[in-house]
Chains A and B, each alone.
Chain A
Amino acid sequence: MGGKEDPTANGSPKSESMAGKKASPPDLLSSISLKSLKLKTKQQELLLRVSILGLVYVLAFIARLFSVLRYESMIHEFDPYFNYRTTLFLTEKGFYEFWNWFDSESWYPLGRIIGGTLYPGLMVTAALIYWTLRFLRFFVHIREVCVLTAPFFASNTTLVAYFFGKEIWDTGAGLVAAALIAICPGYISRSVAGSYDNEAVAIFALLLTFYLFVKAVKTGSLSWALASAFGYFYMVSAWGGYVFIINLIPLYVLVLLITARYSLRLYVAYNCMYILGMLLAMQIRFVGFQHVQSGEHMGAMGVFLLMQVFYFLDWVKHQLNDTKLFQTFLRITVTSAILVGGIALGVGTASGYISPWTGRFYSLLDPTYAKDHIPIIASVSEHQPTAWSSFMFDYHILLFLFPAGLYFCFKRLSDATIFIVMYGLTSLYFAGVMVRLILVATPAVCLISAIAVSATVKNLTSLLRTKQKVPQTGSTKGAGSSKSSSKVTLDQSQPFQKNGAIALLVGVFYLLSRYAIHCTWVTSEAYSSPSIVLAARGAHGNRIIFDDYREAYYWLRQNTPTDAKVMSWWDYGYQITAMGNRTVIVDNNTWNNTHIATVGRAMSSYEDEAYDIMRSLDVNYVLVVFGGVTGYSSDDINKFLWMVRIGGGVYPVIKEPDYLVNGEFRVDKGASPKMLNCLMYKLCYYRFGELVTEYGKPTGYDRARGVEIGNKDIKLEHLEEAYTTSNWIVRIYRVKPPTNRL
């Protein structure tokens, strides 16, 4: 769909050429109709551009509605449930209540200060949209607003991409970039309707900040710099990924300084953006003084100081006429500046004023770090390194266009293209380290690929057109945006070129149409699943829906005491609090590793040991997710080794080898005795030994792992089964009170 927009992106020069021929008699008819419309060439172009952008805007929105059509209007995955819950709270209780909210329903018995530990941008945005709609007398439910926030912001991102593309190359590239990013799977994966997560808003904010900053550098105007500072503020309020901005922009400035591109424009843009952005960012409580104290932000401060040195040197050079004197002065200043900076950094780090890098940031720079040291980061599937197929899946044809785009950028180096190249390369490197960061790289990949498409198509079409009107080359030269490229090719008018150009154009459009097909298909099949409702194909190709999660959470809500505490692995914490409205021990905000490790230890201990842990945490119910009946593979048994690792990281009594046989994780008869009798195994496979899951297989055949389980005779002593959902995906157990000691 998006690919079809692209040819029209280059329609503008064509219409110009038509208008250029107005005077000649054969075109009389068309000129009359044009005249009756009373549109000049520029107006036509504008009309085309605006209508294309409008279509792309709508397209970006509707491509993300597959999930609503396929399933229903609901919140997806895990984190969005927390966001939804807090947004609900915000709209009901107001901003100050929200800001000061202490949530006692999660992290029992510790609780969590919500206002101080979240990025409120998303919730505030959704609440503002909601209030605006209410004000305009559209009475929608807050859930619908939340579901559609991501597509709405994706549409806005296409606009920003257009302006950005226009800034770094030309309007054609801008339009192509908008069309590409509208349907790029790398972005859609995080912004379908229902994925109400920080990233949905953050990518818009990220691109906006970058665009405004590039604009500020180009113009040197304070207002653009101010705007980019506010863009940065929005980004900080929305997502922890703002660290990328506050490191990339200084790096970019540094590169400009090194390549002797220092100018007053740069000075104004960076200083204003940094100082104001910093002051604004510190208003977000979760960031606060980290912005001036943590190691991740030190680069920006260093570059800020360096800018002052540059400015100072410029001034001194202006004052001193003696070059020799200036050289000496330069040497002394640079050395002492570096020395002072180094000493300050050393003292700051040693005294604890500057905190060292966080694990996530560190694992980006030294990718093997997390694997060895931080299991809680390494355990998350979206923190895994990226294989080539994931890149192909998310970018498709853009991967082929990217090197060409790089080439064109280097052919026409400017402050803006330097920025986009740096953004593209750094973000792609990070995307290689962590799958989820493909998202951050997507805008850059789309922009650079758009440059490739636009430059190629423009070169080729101008070739075609010069062929047609060799005698009137003069008029083409004046044709607005295609000046530079047509100049190169004007003097070439061999007959062959036309055919070649047509063939190449057809090739490019074929590729783009494949891209459109790929994106649409991937969006509908791979990225629109809410993951809280599972779908599978039956034996006859029919669609089977497993709605066990919601069944279980509503059961909790209806059938347990309101103050019941539910223990589960942290993945389900947000959903239990949001949908089940019950207190949980740990949830997806993994701020307290020890607490999570305690749960991991309970899950991997024998039942009586686990009982003591659960008693100490006042646990009333235990919830496990089990896919043995349905063949659902991301269940707790498959996550179990991570529970062991995280538990063992804090409590050395838990040892991973105890659960393995020859380094292999097994659940069948050959499994280790500790595995066969730990709490998690018992809770998942309780009564499973009586069940026939598949025709022709023995009882207790686990379909997720394809084996017959090893312990079919499970007796529970301290827990009892409370509820098992219709497809056995969620199983809830009640913790019995201690037996009467009389």
Chain B
Amino acid sequence: MADHKNLPHHFLLSLSLLSILAVSQPDRTKDLVSLRSSSESGVIRLKNDTVSKFITSVPTPRPYSLIIFFNSIDLNSKTLQELRAEFGFASSSFLANNNNRSDVANKLFFCEIDSSDSEAFHLFAVQSLPAMCLVDPLMENPQDQEVKIDEYDFDGTAESVAEFVERRTNFTVGPINRPPLLSKPQISVIAALLVISTPFLIRKVLKGETFLHDTRVWLYGAVLVYFFSVSGIMHNIIKSVPMFFRDEEDSNKLVFFYEGPGYQLWGEGLSVGFLYNLVGLLLAYVTSALVRVRNVNEQRVVMMLAMAISLLAVKKVVYLDNWKTGYQIQTYWPSSWH
């Protein structure tokens, strides 16, 4: 390394003179800042052209460091997207914790490169994902192994990203702020619902007929618990499954139903659980409430509808079950019937 030190310096002097003439360096930082402010959680998406603009064509020492996450949307990997989210948390926490210190905040930028920008992707000679690298101000060769973040340094959490940044640069990321479970619009919707329902609730309580005294509420609760159990929500929580997959071949196609027993996605469990309850409650309604309806036509229509819906729902669920478990149910007839 020592032998090479002089050479870059000479080279650098001449280059920096040139570059001062062409584009002044603070502009690049400004560009990065504006890009960062327009991107989600402050992670700049680098493309083929921007990589050369901010990395390869900038003479060292660059006035900033970049930490790059290599992503691949087409790969549809859940773990990779989780890592990407953690990377985003590290980025947003870094910004939030150094909000009023532009000397720090504008020296380190969190970026990502997607595999669709193959030129930029190959520039760093990334062989496998997940991969990250740190472009410090003096970095010359992007293919250098020192640039890469060691696998052992990154255990998949935002904290480990922060730790790495603090070890390799002089910046501190600070505590990681993860977003709360409910976002602000969600909280406001819930609050609005609460406010609207309060007068009704108060009236009820004053009347002495709270919902706890109503068996119907308990019935709904029971049905809900039932729904919760049989649609496999516990499975979804324990195994933390996604709502759906993206098709491996076509990333625009969504897969809601997973073939094979012992695993399921959120969507399928919920829809099947809904069908169970639909048929069951229709049956209860038809046999005990509908008979009290006076209007014959109404009865007729509702009953036909209920029967048609039930038939379709049962058929659908049985079909799905056979498809999912791979079993084909057959009847055993006495052998003389064949």
Q: Evaluate contact between A410 and B222: CB separation under 8 angstroms.
A: yes
Q: Is A403 an interface residue (CB 8 A)?
A: yes
Contact A400 B280, beta carbon cutoff 8 Å: yes
Q: Does B197 sit within 8 A of A, measured CB to CB?
A: no
- B290-338 interface with A by 8 A CB criterion: 291-292, 296, 299-300, 303, 307, 310-311, 313-314, 317-318, 320-321, 324-325, 327, 329-332
- The answer to whether B229 touches A429, judged by C-beta atoms less than 8 angstroms apart, is yes
- Asked if B280 contacts A452 (CB within 8 A), the reply is yes
Closest chain B residue to A1, Cβ basis: B332
Any chain B CB within 8 A of the CB of A200?
A: no
B228 to chain A, nearest CB (A): 7
Interface string of A373-399 (1 = CB under 8 A from B): 000000000001111111111000101
Contact across chains for B230 and A388 when beta carbons are under 8 A apart: yes
Q: Which of B232, B283, B303, B329 contacts A388 (CB 8 A)?
A: B232
Partner of B261, one of A389, A429, A522: A389
Flag if A403 contacts B277 (CB, 8 Å): yes
Contact B225 A428 (CB under 8 A): yes
With A371-B238, A433-B238 as contacts: A389 and B283 at CB distance below 8 Å:
no
Across the interface, do A492 and B269 meet the contact criterion of CB distance under 8 Å? no
Residues of B close to A459: CB separation below 8 A: 287-288, 291
A385 touching B235, Cβ below 8 Å: yes
Indicate whether A463 sits within 8 Å of B291 (C-beta atoms), given known contacts A403-B281, A407-B284, A410-B219: yes
- Residues in A385-443 with C-beta less than 8 Å from chain B: 385-393, 397, 399-408, 410-411, 413, 421, 424-425, 428-429, 431-433
Which of A390, A429, A452 is the one whose CB lies under 8 Å from B284? A452
- B255-282 CB contacts (< 8 Å) to partner A: 261-264, 268-269, 272-273, 276-277, 279-281
Report Cα–Cα, A199/B11, bound state, in Å: 80
Flag whether B234 is at the interface (Cβ < 8 A).
yes
Stretch at the interface among A137-145, A298-306, A510-518, A591-599: A510-518
A368 CA / B262 CA spacing, docked (Å)? 17
Asked whether any CB of chain B lies closer than 8 Å to the CB of A500, the reply is: yes
Chain A: residues with Cβ within 8 Å of the partner, total of 63
Contact A389 B280 (CB under 8 A): no
Say whether A634 faces chain B, with CB atoms less than 8 Å apart. no
Within 8 Å CB of A387, what residues of B? 232, 235, 261-264, 269
A432 to B310, CA, bound (A): 25
Q: Confirm or deny: B57 has a beta carbon within 8 angstroms of a beta carbon on chain A.
A: no
Partner of A389, one of B215, B325, B329: B325
The residue in chain B whose Cβ has the minimal distance to the Cβ of A521 is B329
CA distance in complex: A514, B307 (Å): 17
Do the beta carbons of B239 and A385 come within 8 Å of each other? yes
Interface residue? A504 (CB, 8 A): yes
Flag if A408 contacts B325 (CB, 8 Å): no
Q: Which residue of chain A has the shortest Cβ distance to B241 in the bound complex?
A: A387
A397: chain B residues at CB < 8 Å are 314
Q: Number of A-B pairs whose CB atoms are under 8 Å?
A: 180
Is residue A367 contacting chain B, with contact meaning CB distance below 8 A? yes
A488 within 8 Å of B (CB atoms)? yes
Question: Is B79 in contact with chain A by the CB < 8 A criterion?
Answer: yes
Q: Which residues of A contact B263 (CB under 8 A)?
A: 387
Chain A residues near B303 (CB, 8 Å)? 500, 504
Q: What are the residues of chain A within 8 A of B216 when measuring CB–CB?
A: 410
Does A489 sit within 8 A of B, measured CB to CB?
yes
A526 within 8 A of partner (CB)? yes
Q: Of B128, B228, B327, which contacts A662 at CB under 8 A?
A: B128
A367 touches B234 (CB 8 A): yes
Name A386's contact: one of B234, B288, B311 (CB within 8 Å).
B234
Complex CA–CA separation, A258 to B229 (angstroms): 25
B78 CB → nearest A CB, Å: 11
Q: Does B15 contact A (CB under 8 A)?
A: no
- Do the beta carbons of A390 and B234 come within 8 Å of each other? no
* Most chain B CB within a 10 A radius of its CB, from A390, A488, A520, A526: A390
| Bound-state Cα–Cα, A431 to B233, Å | 11
Name, among B215, B228, B291, B327, the residue most crowded by chain A CB atoms within 10 Å (CB to CB). B291
Cα distance A44–B279 in the bound complex, in angstroms: 35
Q: Are B229 and A403 in contact (CB under 8 A)?
A: no
Residue B218 at the chain A interface, CB threshold 8 Å: yes
Say whether B232 contacts A391, CB under 8 Å: yes
A contact residues around B283 at 8 Å (CB): 400-401, 404, 452, 456
B202 within 8 A of A: no
Q: Does A494 sit at the interface, judged by CB under 8 A?
A: yes
Interface size band for B: 35 or more
Give complex CA distance A411, B285 in Å.
12
Say yes or no: is A496 at the interface (Cβ < 8 Å to chain B): yes
Contact status of A399 and B330, CB under 8 A, knowing A388-B269, A455-B288: no
Known: A452-B283, A511-B314. A388 touches B238 (CB 8 A): no
Q: Which of B128, B226, B324, B325 contacts A402 (CB 8 A)?
A: B226
B331 touches A517 (CB 8 A): yes
Residues of chain A lying within 8 A (CB to CB) of residue B218: 410
Question: A101 vs B210: C-alpha distance in the bound complex, in angstroms?
Answer: 60
Contacts of B262 in A (CB 8 A): 384, 387, 390
| Interface status of A336 (Cβ within 8 A of chain B) | no
B324 and chain A: residue at smallest CB distance: A389
Give a binary string over A247-278; 1 marks a CB under 8 Å from any B CB, 0 the rest.
00000000000000000000000000000000
Closest-CB distance, A359 to chain B (whole angstroms): 15
Q: How far is the CA of A392 from the CA of B284 in the complex (A)?
A: 20
Q: Closest CB of chain B to A526's CB: distance in Å?
A: 7
Tell me, yes or no, whether B21 is within 8 Å of chain A by CB: no
A401 to B283, CA, bound (A): 8
Give the distance to chain A from B246, nearest Cβ to Cβ, in Å: 19
Judge whether A368 and B237 touch: CB under 8 Å. yes
CB proximity of B240 to chain A, nearest CB, Å: 9
Q: Does B243 make an interface contact (CB < 8 A)?
A: no
Give B311 Cβ to nearest chain A Cβ, in Å.
7
| Cβ of B223 under 8 Å from chain A | yes
Q: A459-B287, A521-B331 are in contact. Are A386 and B280 (CB under 8 A)?
A: no
When A406-B226, A459-B288 are in contact, do A388 and B234 touch as well, CB less than 8 Å?
no
Bound complex: CA A521 to CA B321 (Å): 14
- A411/B235 contact (C-beta < 8 A), A387-B263, A389-B325, A507-B311 known: no
Q: What residue of chain A has the Cβ atom nearest to residue B264's Cβ?
A: A387
**Is B307's CB under 8 angstroms from A503's CB?**
yes
What is the 8 Å Cβ interface bit string for chain A, positions 455-479, against chain B (1 contact, 0 not)?
A: 1100110010000000000000000
**20 extra A-B contacts, CB within 8 A, seeds A385-B234, A500-B303, A525-B327:** A387-B232, A388-B230, A388-B235, A388-B264, A400-B310, A401-B280, A404-B287, A406-B280, A407-B280, A410-B222, A425-B225, A428-B225, A459-B287, A488-B288, A496-B296, A496-B299, A507-B311, A514-B318, A521-B331, A662-B128
A-B contact pairs, 21 of them (CB 8 A): A367-B237, A371-B238, A387-B235, A387-B263, A389-B264, A392-B321, A393-B327, A400-B314, A400-B317, A402-B280, A406-B223, A407-B281, A425-B222, A425-B226, A428-B226, A429-B228, A432-B229, A463-B291, A504-B286, A521-B327, A522-B329
Binding site for A on B (CB under 8 A): 79, 128, 215-216, 218-219, 222-223, 225-226, 228-235, 237-239, 261-264, 268-269, 272-273, 276-277, 279-281, 283-288, 291-292, 296, 299-300, 303, 307, 310-311, 313-314, 317-318, 320-321, 324-325, 327, 329-332
Query: What are the 4 A-B residue pairs with the smallest beta carbon separation, nearest first?
Result: A403-B280, A407-B284, A432-B234, A385-B235
A residues touching B (Cβ–Cβ < 8 Å)? 367-368, 371, 384-393, 397, 399-408, 410-411, 413, 421, 424-425, 428-429, 431-433, 452, 455-456, 459-460, 463, 488-489, 492, 494, 496-497, 500, 503-504, 507, 511, 514, 517-518, 520-522, 524-526, 662-663
